[in-house]
Structures are given as structure tokens and as C-alpha cells.
Amino acid sequence: MIKRVTVCLVSHFLLCTGLFLCIQKPIFLLYNLLKSGKSCPLEELSEIYRHGVALDAATAAYLSAIPLLVLCAHLVFPAYNPRKTLLAYDGFVALLLSLVTMADACLYEFWEFKLDATVFFYLDDPKNAFASVSSAYLLVRALAILLLAAVYYLILSIPVSKTSWEPAGNRKRAALAMPVFLVLAGGALFATMRGLRIWPNTPGRAYYSKTAFYNHAALNPLFNIAYTSGKQEDFSRQFQTLPDEECERICDALFPTSGTAEPVLRTTRPDILVIVLEGFGACFIEELGGMKEVAPNLSRLCKEGVNFAHCYCSSFRTDRGIVSALSGYPGQPTTSIMRYSHKLRSLPGLPKSLKKAGYQTQVLYAGDMTFFNMADYFISAGHDRLVSQDDFPAEQRTAKWGVPDHVAFEWLFQDIQKKHKENDAPWYTTFLTISSHVPFDVPYHRLKDEKLNAFAYTDSCMGDFIDRLQATPAWDNLLVVCTADHGFNHWDITSPDFPHIPFLLLGGAVKQVCRKEQIVCQTDLPATVLGQLQLPHEDFSFSRDVLADTYTAPSAFSTFNNGFNFRDSTGCTVYDNTASRALHGADPEREKKGKAILQKLYKDLSER
């Protein structure tokens, strides 16, 4: 009996490890290499397997813990036949591994980071989480998951099915041997789970390359989900790497809160429109060093207002980016403050500050505001009126995400004309576009590449909107602030160029056209706008008035999945927290500054 339970347990462990090595990794690599056009040389492939096998084995050990207990029960009670229990468990494991394998491979195309616990944030609202893809896409993946689960099950069930579970041998001796088996087998599994090094296994065990894709290919997705699930809530202990005094000293120099602003507006009480363009990285705008053919209108508009030519987004997803733009609050690399309603209420907000100065406030997002707690955030940030896809006729909701941008821009244009005629009070509006987002289903066909064409469509909508608005009296007292929620993964998400986004001040309220060359961050938007209105902004502790005389150390801080990008006049460092090293531009001083901001951010997050 001892022999067969040992063989069964070892077989289960080896088969689980083999599934990761022979099926999960090849699927991830082949799917994403074919989709992205990336390459993976043979020597790099061997490194991926060499550095990833420890976490594959650790995950297999975790998956073998329950079979160990079931087999121990069989030793103590030989009459108990564990076949059905083990086969049912194998079925569960097969379905779990199939789901994780396919989700990891497919989502990487969109997210550019390894599957982790943040996936659960988005699955709170499945309808919107899957809005980026077609029904056919989902159906094909669902069938693939079922087929892969069947393959996994057939493999995993072999040792259980081939074993005879009839009681045999000396039953009393088998029962007495159970503690020895439990200690030895359990100890071996535990050692594999933990790893044999001084410190326990973490996702960083698989990180070896400066190319993020190779690290992600090596990292076991199920291990990463389990590890990050336990790292989400205790923010006060995360990223605390520097003495508090040193952290405060560094951050005080990076985030001045006072000063006299250079006036670039004709008035201190303009009507204000903040347009946040979905995923519109500077890589699409020629005037910002990007492509020539995609966004000619935005490139032209850069020359018609105050152009902050070196602005960098704070994060890599909309839920972080919109909070960064309106609340001046940096995006978090391992969580999203938008999921915590009780914390949202304590955040400052540009519309909240403007309400105190007599502004009427509203937000236009022609999609589903119930997704990812967006409505809760917009209200907490100070918007009195929320306009969503529900405010448009059903026949206008023709895009996967809601109402196409040209329809939303038309609604906004008419709303501005109406507000100008009423002239009751200064007004403020946030407008978040949706069409330049997967699946890029736009009613526009200028460029062959569907991604580029979707951004060209939003650019055409923006250009037409501004041109029409300039011809109306409403333009004269209007400040249009144009930015993006995040960059676009035309570049790798860990690329120093990924965070580069537009930041423009347009409208009749702008005094003169100019191009600002200093480095600024998306989080600086609220303080800079409030500074022009001569309104206080001290509660925006991470936002700086970049037009003030105290802005003497220009820098930008942005995050990606468990990493950060810090840029100043000396260069740019991209630092991976999981690997505990720089992927680009290693520099001790920049690394220290980025770590200080991250430390202060998570301490602040824990206290809200």
C-alpha cells in the first residue's frame, strides 16, 4: 500500500509539473509570439524554462497537498477507496489549470502583464470585463478551455485510474507507516513549495531578463495569482524600503505645494472641459514624436495652445489613470484605489474643488459607469451630474463599449451651446472617450490597421469638435484640457516610452500659444489648473503646479504591474519590484526617488 500511494502521489506531482512545462508554457509563448510578432531565440527559451521550473514545481506541490491527505486517509482506513475523490479532484484541477492557462495567454495580449490577483477586480463585472472582445472570440476561447481541460484531466487521471485500490498487504503496518509517509512526503512537498534558498519562493524567482516578456513567460500564472492574492490589502507594510525621514525628505523636494504660477490664461474663471482620450499615447501624435498618419488633428492642436510636450501618465489602466488625472493620485502597481469605495471619499478631486468655487460639474462617459466602481468614483470626485450610455437612445449604442465617440462629441457640443446660452454659472465637464479601445469597432475606415484606424477615428472626432467649437461664442471663455488616461502598448508596457501622453491647454481662455519642455506628470493636472484659477490645491499632495516658480525639480512617476518608471532631467529608470532590479536605466538615485514615492503612496493608501 505504501508503494502505490507513493507512486500515485509522485505521479500526480510530476504530471502537474509536466503540464506547466509541456502545455501551459508553450501555449503562452506560441499565442503571444504569433500575436505580437515578438521573437524568442532558442537560448532564451532554455533560460525561460530553467528559471521558471522552480515555481512550476512549487505550484505542482501545492496542487499535490490534497491528494497527500486523501492518500493518508487510505493508509489509515484501507477499506476507503480514494478513486472517486481523487478523480473528482483531478477534474477540478484540470478545469482550474485550463482556465488559468487560456486566460493568462489571451489576456496578456491586452494587458502586457502576467495574470495575477487583479483579474478578480475586473471579474466583479463580467459584462464589461469582456466588452472588449466579440462573442465569437469568447466562444472559441470557451471551447478551447473545455478541450484543454479534457486533455489535462485525461493526463492527470492516469495514475489514479491505473492503480488498484483494493486493500492489500499488512493493513496495520500501513496504518502505522502513515505518519512517516505524511512527514516525509509532506516535508518534500513543503520544501518544494517554499524553495531551498534562504528566502521563500516569490514571483521574482522566475525573473532573470531585462525583457519583461521573457520573465512573464517563465513565471507560473497560478503561482502568481495565489501569491498576489495575499498581498492586496495590507498596504501599510508594502514597499516600505526607506527610513520614514529619508522618504519624507525626498518626497518634499519632489512635490512642492506652494508657489506663484505663471499665468497662461486670460481669466481666472473660465468654463472648463477636461477631455481624457482613451489609451491615446504620444506614439500616435507626430508633434510629440509619434507617427505622422494617425492623429493629424491632435498634432495640429499641439501648436494651438499650451503644449506640455513631455507629459507622462501615472499608470497603465483606465481605472488608475482617471483617478490620476482628476485627483492627482498616482496609480498603484498592485491594486486600484477605485475598488475601495470607503477610500474614494477621502480623495481630493478637481471637480470637487471647483464646486467650492461655484462651478456646476458633470461627467460624460458614454459607456457603462457601473463598471469597476466608476460611478462611485465620479461622484466622490465631485461630479454633480453623471451622463452615461443610458442617457443615449438604444440605437446609438452601436459600439461594444457603448456610444461611439462621434456621437458623444456631438452630445457634448450641443450641451456646451446650451450651457453658454443659459450662462447661469461657470461649468466644468469631464469627458472620457471610449472608441480607441479594444475591439476597435469604429465607424471609420481611413487606415488599414484596425488599432491605428480607431485612434485616427477618435482624432478626427476631436479635431471636428474643436473646429466647430472655435466658431461659437462659447469658445471665448473656454479652457479645454486634453490628456489621455494612459499610454498604449504599441510599446512594451515596461518601455520608457510607454507612459508618454499628451497634455494640452486649449480654448479662448488661453492667453498665448507656447510649448513647455519640462517633464511633467499626469497627476499634475489638478494643481496646475487650480493654480491658474488662483484656487488652493494643498490637499492634492501628489499633484504639482508645474507653472509655479516652486516647480524646480521636474520629474514624472508612473507605474505598471508591480513596477515603476521614474524620470527626471538625468534620465529614466524602469524598475521591476518583483525582480528587485532596474529593467532600463539603472541609477541608484532615481531608483531611490521612485521607491520613496511608492512608499509614501502606499502609506497614504493605507490611511485613507
The answer to whether residue 364 scores a pLDDT higher than 70 is yes
Of 197, 215, 214, 194, the closest CA to residue 206 belongs to 215
At residue 297 the predicted structure's pLDDT band, cuts being 50, 70 and 90, is very high
Asked if residue 597 is part of any domain, the answer here is: no
Three-state secondary structure call for residue 81: coil
Q: What are phi and psi of 91, to 5 degrees?
A: -65, -45
What percent of the chain has pLDDT above 70?
Answer: 94
> Do 153 and 293 fall into the same domain?
no
Is residue 47 domain-shared with residue 148, that is, in the same domain?
yes
Question: Identity (one letter) of the amino acid at 461?
Answer: C
Give the confidence band of 345 by pLDDT, cuts at 50, 70, 90: confident
Give the span between the Cα atoms of 39 and 376, in whole angstroms: 43
The predicted structure's pLDDT at residue 168 = 60
What single DSSP character describes residue 332? P
Cell of 506: 486649449
Q: Say if 160 falls within a structural domain.
A: yes
151 lies in the same domain as 284: no
Give residue 258's pLDDT. 81
Q: What is the pLDDT of residue 342?
A: 77
On whether residue 260 sits in a domain, the answer given is no
In the listed set 522, 538, 554, which residue is the last one of a domain according to the structure?
538
Ranked by mean pLDDT, the top range of 166-180, 319-333, 388-402 is 319-333
Position 492 scores a pLDDT of 78
As a whole number, the mean pLDDT across the chain is 91
Q: What is the mean pLDDT of residues 164-188?
A: 76
* Low-confidence winner among 70-84, 171-185, 340-354, 573-587 (lowest mean pLDDT): 171-185
Per-residue confidence (pLDDT) for residue 74, from 0 to 100? 84
Q: Apex CA 288: angle with CA 109 and CA 563, to 5°?
A: 45
Is 140 found in the same domain as 212? yes
Average pLDDT (257-263) is: 89
The candidate with the shortest Cα–Cα distance to 295, out of 83, 401, 447, is: 447
**DSSP H helices in 163-306:** 171-194, 212-218, 221-229, 244-254, 296-301
Calpha distance 222→68 (Å, rounded): 20
Residue 231 has pLDDT above 60, yes or no: no
What value does the mean pLDDT take over residues 462-475?
Answer: 98
Residue 546 lies in a domain: no
Residue 100 lies in a domain: yes
CA distance linking residue 23 with residue 386, whole number of Å: 47
Contact 461, 241 (CB under 8 A): no
Q: How far apart are CA 375 and CA 285, in angstroms?
A: 30
Residue 595: inside a domain, yes or no? Answer: no
> Which of 55-59, 156-160, 202-206, 226-230 bottoms out in mean pLDDT, i.e. has the lowest?
226-230
Residue 124 banded pLDDT, cuts 50, 70, 90: low
Domain assignment of residue 88, given as a range: 2-229
Say if pTM beats, i.e. exceeds, 0.85: no
Q: Let me know if residue 573 belongs to a domain.
A: no
Answer yes or no: do 277 and 383 share one domain.
Answer: yes
**Same domain assignment for residues 216 and 299:** no
Boundary (domain end) residue, out of 493, 521, 538:
538
The CATH number assigned to the domain holding 458 equals 3.40.720.10
How many domains would you assign to the chain? 2
Grid cell digits, residue 455: 485612434
Determine the pLDDT at residue 532: 97
Identify whether residues 274 and 200 lie together within a single domain.
Answer: no
Which of 67-81, 117-131, 405-419 shows the highest mean pLDDT? Answer: 405-419
CA 522, CA 325: separation in Å to the nearest integer?
6
Does the structure show a pLDDT above 90 at 234?
no
Q: Measuring CA to CA, which residue among 386, 412, 403 is closest to residue 464?
A: 412
Same domain, 273 and 223: no
358 phi and psi angles, rounded to 5 deg:
100, 10
Q: Where among 229, 252, 285 does a domain terminate?
A: 229
pLDDT for residue 442:
95
Whole-number percent of the chain with pLDDT over 90:
70
If asked whether residues 203 and 288 sit together in one domain, one would say no
Residue 548 counted as domain residue: no
Regarding whether 286 and 219 lie in a shared domain, the answer is: no
pLDDT in tens, 171-180: 666 667 778 8
pLDDT at 170: 59
Average pLDDT value for residue range 269-290 = 97
392 and 490 belong to one structural domain: yes
pLDDT, tens digit, for every residue of 512-555?
999 999 999 999 999 999 999 999 999 999 999 999 999 999 99
Q: Regarding predicted confidence, which is higher, 257 or 433?
A: 433
Q: Specify whether the CB–CB gap between 398 and 331 falls below 8 A.
A: no
Res 121 pLDDT > 90: no
Q: Which residues pair with residue 481 across a beta bridge?
A: 274, 505
- pLDDT score for 370: 75
* Same domain flag for 179 and 295: no
